[in-house]
Chains A and B, each alone.
Chain A
């Protein structure tokens, strides 16, 4: 079986062959069955928003249908489809954040959930004007949670966290009337505007997209990160391992997959339960081996060093090792195919969220009120399932790499403090970072985020771009499946400094960091917005002035569309390694890749070749530097 998209991944081939023998079906089988993609959908010119349709517009101008039945043009249809992707993405991130706010609201001394980082809670309380005098942290947390929950549906005002942006940026948003108000409102409004017979002006739809996406980045996602840190601790630098080789042959393997840390945090506790560990020994296992996948994997690796089994495209492969007793999932980016695949093995596929009941799964509803008990129950089931493992079907690839993870903004700043001279500077700022960028020691910084996508070779674009950038003294911050690609490739080790240019190497040595910093999950892209804005504010500039870019080399989800849009709206040029489904409208492509720059000082760039993409980003960064005279 040859899979072009897996060529870059040396370890999967054997597993796929074994899987075929086992009778497993994978994403690549389904991709083959899909054959050629529908050209209309691929170009974004198929519209299904009312029952007069489906309508499709001819991709050739002047030939065939030029308008839908309602009269919508290709421009309108492409813009509306794009907008609904933004809505999908923003809603996913925001609902994730809402859950964490609810968990925060039930925090109490005796329960499963309590405030872990009182300092961060106090900072937010101060920022939000919450009285902290003589109050118990959980009590303050309840008020903060309520304020946060109101951010989703408050009737008046704009998102509270916008004030963390440089003033120039805030003014741009205000002038363009794209300051996000309540999060849910923006999503609902944009769904409204894209209804039949509502907005048809593509440019105005894109403005609304920006507003909705900003409600994600500067609202939902940021609230999610902020509250997760308060409840579960601010990540600090720690070691871990990544790739399928972290699955242990002699242990009970449990994979936690999905996104929500209020679930995975409890799974971590459950997997450490002495009673369950004893049970595992009784079953003949050496212990319980919890491994993570996708963003929930990122959450628990950032805070607990839980090993990373892999990223998005490897979720099936993890089960196909035959050594996975249970896969516990919550929400987002979970293949529905896992249910059928798990049946081929002894693996228990357990869905837990009422928002994501999965056909063919064992459904055990996760209720925050007795979260730990439920997780223990699931883990117990997994331990008991160890005896059902078919040893003949086990094949664990040996590949794994060590990685240092846990670089929250707070941890980055702590590391930067190491190079601060107490006689010339103050501690606890991003000045050292801005200094090395201004001096040219680092040319700039790039945020690499996003998914895997079988349209491109898995991880190849991530890794190629990362290596090109660090070789050229550009520091990389990363989240999500891109981060996991780096961890697997060994790029998150201190030794990876040897792959860097002299400038980045010196910075890594002196600050004591790897050249690629794992900043967390996809909601944690708010951490990247945070650090970029801090540097801009430090220099009295706007984000769009800085020599920084964002890139999603292998993106696939609607969340990635929302992320890309809020990053651009925040003033950061964003490169996409997979062309979005917008090419049916030259006008909309021009808006995204050109005209947006006049409005928000940043734009999208589509470039599928990773080497060329890295080159363009470096050119972009140098142009920004020239403009600044640095």
Chain B
């Protein structure tokens, strides 16, 4: 298993998709149509933070593709592989930006898709002060819904913010896991590209709360690594695109834990086949220490439940 080749293959898939989508949107809407995510001052935030460039029209998406391609150089050094991850993240953001240009509301409730600046500001301060002790990003599909719910609730009970990508969302719904930004459980979308919306959260934390200059990627990486205690859990089989996204996460300082075997990289990429240990593995690898005083009552107690609304029917 050549890990770097897997990453390059994933990156190629993002590139193919991004190129065809940009081509399509230009054909459909011309070069001057406005490109933006809803309610953000940071254009395409990931690309803006990395390169300092604001992309605002469909025509400029071609430039965005070129910016991403600058990170593509398939060598056999770690930096080459991590750069492929960065390129993948930029390409995923382009793909998502096209979705938001194609339709008004590409993500419909309960899916969240893009988060607005206001939404980020709502939990941003506790996130970077680590009152929210960490951010779990769950990708894929757990072996059954019960397991999915258990893991999500475990993170929730520990006060973490949990983002979901893929079929795990349906599993959570099936188990009546209550979701929403207030509850710190956020279903992003079904396609892997939607994971960029959580990357966008981390990078905007760096732009907003860290006041890091757009274009100073090194400083952004340092901020996200030091201040945003995020990590990734991948359930079921991973594919090359997930691993390429994982390389992007690693570049930002976020380790990944996979259920299916992958060549491990200590502290960065771990294989944990035992679902019962995935939470502890993740917290340890991201160095998240939670002091919990367990109160023995029949319902979950955590700051994550602070914003919960009790509806009439409940």
Contact = CB atoms under 8 A, between A and B. Distances in A.
A and B bind: yes
A42 B267 CA distance: 52
B217 to A, nearest CB: 13
Contact of B2 (A419, A441, A510, A630): A630
Interface stretch (A178-186, A457-465, A498-506, A561-569): A498-506
B4 A424 contact: no
Interface string B207-220: 00000000000000
Q: In the complex, which of the residues B1, B2, B281, B285 has the most CB atoms of chain A within 10 Å of its own CB atom?
A: B2
B229 interface: no
A439 B258 CA distance: 15
Contacts of A416: 266
Interface stretch (A294-302, A311-319, A430-438): A430-438
A435 B78 contact: no
A450 to B, nearest CB: 27
B285 A421 contact: yes
A625 B3 CA distance: 12
Contacts of B264: 424, 435, 439
Interface string A474-515: 000000000000000000000000000111001000100000
Contacts of B82: 502
Contacts of B266: 416, 419-421, 432, 435-436, 510
A443 B265 contact: no
Contacts of B78: 440-441, 473, 501-503, 506
Contact of B280 (A423, A472, A502, A622): A423
Interface string A314-327: 00000000000000
Given A421-B285, A424-B272, A629-B2, A501 B267 contact: no
Contacts of A629: 1-2
A439 B281 contact: no
B284 interface: yes
A436 B281 contact: no
A422 B3 CA distance: 23
B76 interface: yes
Contact of A419 (B1, B77, B267, B281): B267
A501 B75 CA distance: 12
The size bracket of the interface on B is: 20 to 34
Nearest to A502: B79
A136 B4 CA distance: 53
Interface residues of A, number: 26
Interface in B219-267: 263-267
Contact of B4 (A423, A432, A440, A510): A440
B142 interface: no
Contacts of B285: 421
Contacts of B202: none
B277 interface: yes
B139 interface: no
A439 B266 CA distance: 10
Contacts of A432: 266
Interface string B109-150: 000000000000000000000000000000000000000000
Interface in B1-54: 1-4
Which of A423, A472, A625 has most chain B Cβ within 10 Å? A423
Given A421-B266, A436-B266, A630 B1 contact: yes
Nearest to B3: A439
Contacts of B2: 440, 629-630
Contacts of B277: 423-424
Nearest to B282: A423
Most buried by A among B263, B267, B270, B271: B267
B81 interface: yes
Contacts of A423: 272, 277, 280-281, 284
Nearest to A471: B77
B269 interface: yes
B270 A421 contact: yes
Contacts of B79: 501-503
A439 B264 CA distance: 7
A506 B255 CA distance: 13
Nearest to A501: B77
A439 B272 contact: no
Most buried by B among A440, A443, A501: A440
Most buried by B among A421, A472, A503: A421
A420 B270 CA distance: 10
Contacts of A435: 263-266
Given A502-B78, A630-B1, A439 B284 contact: no
Given A424-B271, A503-B79, A510-B266, A440 B3 contact: yes
A502 B2 CA distance: 18
A436 B264 CA distance: 7
B272 A630 contact: no
A608 to B, nearest CB: 27
Interface string B269-311: 1111000010011001100000000000000000000000000
Interface string A593-630: 00000000000000000000000000000100100011
Interface in B42-82: 76-79, 81-82
Contacts of B280: 423
Nearest to A432: B266
A473 B272 contact: no
A502 B265 contact: no
A424 B267 contact: no
Contacts of A503: 77-79
22 contacts: A419-B266, A421-B266, A421-B281, A421-B284, A421-B285, A423-B277, A423-B280, A423-B281, A424-B270, A424-B272, A435-B266, A439-B3, A439-B265, A440-B3, A440-B76, A440-B81, A443-B77, A501-B79, A502-B79, A503-B77, A510-B267, A622-B76
Interface of B: 1-4, 76-79, 81-82, 263-272, 277, 280-281, 284-285
Interface of A: 416, 419-424, 432, 435-436, 438-441, 443, 472-473, 501-503, 506, 510, 622, 625, 629-630
Closest 7 CB pairs of A and B: A503-B78, A419-B266, A502-B79, A423-B281, A432-B266, A439-B265, A502-B78
Given A423-B284, A432-B266, A629-B2, 15 more contacts: A421-B267, A423-B277, A423-B281, A424-B281, A436-B265, A439-B3, A439-B263, A440-B81, A501-B79, A506-B78, A510-B267, A625-B76, A630-B1, A630-B3, A630-B263
